[in-house]
Structure 1
Amino acid sequence: MLEIKDLNLTLGNKLILQHINLDIPVQGEIIGIMGPNGAGKSSLLKSIIGEFKSTGTAHLNKTPVENSLKSITYIPQKAHIDLDFPIDVEHVVVSGAYKDIGWFKWVNVETKTKLNQLMKTLELENLRHRQISELSGGQLQRVLVARALMTESTLYLLDEPFVGIDFHSEEIIMSQLRQLKKEGKLLLIVHHDLSKAETYFDRVILLNKSIRYFGDSVTAMKPEHLNHTFLNAPIQNGMA
């Protein structure tokens, strides 16, 4: 269970998130986080993992998140990746296993097997020795997903994984995310394309500084909930 109680975030003098409360079971589910620009979507993920210092509490399976980081995988936006760092695709992907095997350790047979499997599944084999600075947006995102899948996690947090990538890469990545769902993992994905909500997500969090709606993706896309989120319009029945 991911439990977030009264999470509030202020950066400088600006209120970013207010009174965020969530109780989400870890039972195999893909949840979208959607809302307008500046709504606090990426900030919510960063607050959960402690990158942003918010108030309130966050627990994963009754353990404070700060003590559960080995059970959490966070995939940031591609824009936050240093493409000038001289490293090839294979070394980026295998680095995802370091929190399990340790830094500066020999890569064991099990890790090599998993590496080769992910390189094949995510169609990265022919890019194995290419520098990350030479990759397209879709190729880089597949590398980041492969890196994330090198280790077992309970909770996966993805920040705009489909921005600026080709349709084929998006299909490959989504297939892997659905496999994680089948394995009982919980995935929270920041996403901006409302047209994909019902196809990609089981449930949707509509966010605009506070949670405006949290429930099944079909209901989330109803005009009253979208207007309440994107236009700050009141819900007709008085409920968010």
Structure 2
Amino acid sequence: MLSIKGLNLLIGHQQILKDIHLNIETTGEMIGIMGPNGAGKSSFLKSILGEFKATGDALWNKIPIKQQLTNITYIPQRNELDLDFPITVNNALLTGYYQTSGWFKPLKKEAYIKREKLLHDLQLTNLKHKTLNQLSGGQLQRVLLAKALMKDSSLMCLDEPFVGIDFKSEEIMLNLLNKLKREDKLILIVHHDIHKAKRYFDKIILLNQSLIQFGPSHDVLTEENIKQTFLYGGVNNE
């Protein structure tokens, strides 16, 4: 269960998130986090993960998330990455495994087996010797997902994974994410496309500085709720 109590975030003198209370008692679901630009969607993920110093509590299975980050998957936006370092797809995936096993321990055979399976599942096998700066946006996003999945976790947080990628990459990623959902993972995804949201997500968090609505996609994405979220209130920065 994910439990968020009294989450507030100030950056400078500006309030980015205001008094958010949220309980997600189920797993095996894909949940979209939606709101206008500047609503605090990315900041919401970074706050519950401890990257931003918010006040309030964020618990996963009754334990503070900050105390179990090695067991939680987070995939940031692509524009936050440094692509100048010449690392291959093959080696990038192994760095994901090191995050759990420890950097100075020899890799087990299972790491290489898992890498090959993820390369296959995300249709990256023919790209494994390329460096990250040689990839298209969709290919890179698939690599980031594969890298994150080199460690096992029951909670996954993805920040705008479908922005600027091709249709093929989006479908490949969705197929794998839906498979993970069936394996009882809870997957939180910052997303912007309302037209696809009902098809992609079991539930929706509507956010604009404060929590507007949370619930099943078809119940939450009403004309009234969308207007309340996207046309009224909010903040200027994420």
TM-score (norm 1): 0.95
Specify the SS of the correspondent of 2:113. Answer: helix
Q: 1-side partners of 2:91 and 2:38: how far apart?
A: 34
Specify the SS of the correspondent of 2:151. Answer: coil
Specify the SS of the correspondent of 2:32. Answer: strand
CA-CA distance at 1:85 after TM superposition: 1.0
Q: 2-side partners of 1:65 and 1:221: how far apart?
A: 29
Say if 2:15 is the partner of 1:42.
Answer: no
Specify the SS of the correspondent of 2:90. Answer: helix
Answer yes or no: is the 8 Å Cα contact 1:26–1:185 preserved in 2. no
Say if 2:229 is the partner of 1:229.
Answer: yes
Q: 1-side partners of 2:7 and 2:112: how far apart?
A: 40
Aligned to 2:180: 180
Specify the SS of the correspondent of 2:95. Answer: helix
Aligned to 1:105: 105
Say if 2:223 is the partner of 1:216.
Answer: no
Task: State the Cα deviation string for residues 83-132 of structure 1 (Å, max 9, x = none).
Answer: 11111111111111112221133222111110000001101111111010
Unpaired runs of 5+ in structure 1? 234-240
Answer yes or no: is the 8 Å Cα contact 1:26–1:154 preserved in 2. no
Letter in 2 for 1:12: G
Aligned to 1:58: 58
Work out the number of aligned pairs and report it.
233
Aligned to 2:236: none
Say if 2:205 is the partner of 1:205.
Answer: yes
Specify the SS of the correspondent of 1:157. Answer: strand
Q: 2-side partners of 1:101 and 1:212: how far apart?
A: 39
Letter in 2 for 1:153: S
CA-CA distance at 1:26 after TM superposition: 4.3
Specify the SS of the correspondent of 2:18. Answer: strand
Superposition pairs for residues 17-96 of structure 1, below 5 Å?
17-96=17-96
Specify the SS of the correspondent of 1:37. Answer: coil
Unpaired runs of 5+ in structure 2? 234-238
Task: State the Cα deviation string for residues 60-82 of structure 1 (Å, max 9, x = none).
Answer: 11111111112211000000110
Aligned to 2:6: 6
Answer yes or no: is the 8 Å Cα contact 1:122–1:142 preserved in 2. yes
Q: 2-side partners of 1:106 and 1:127: how far apart?
A: 25
Specify the SS of the correspondent of 1:90. Answer: helix
List 4+ stretches of structure 1 deviating above 4 A.
none
The percentage of counterpart residues that share the same residue type is 55
Q: 2-side partners of 1:98 and 1:141: how far apart?
A: 20
Q: 1-side partners of 2:127 and 2:65: how far apart?
A: 35
Q: 2-side partners of 1:73 and 1:231: how far apart?
A: 32
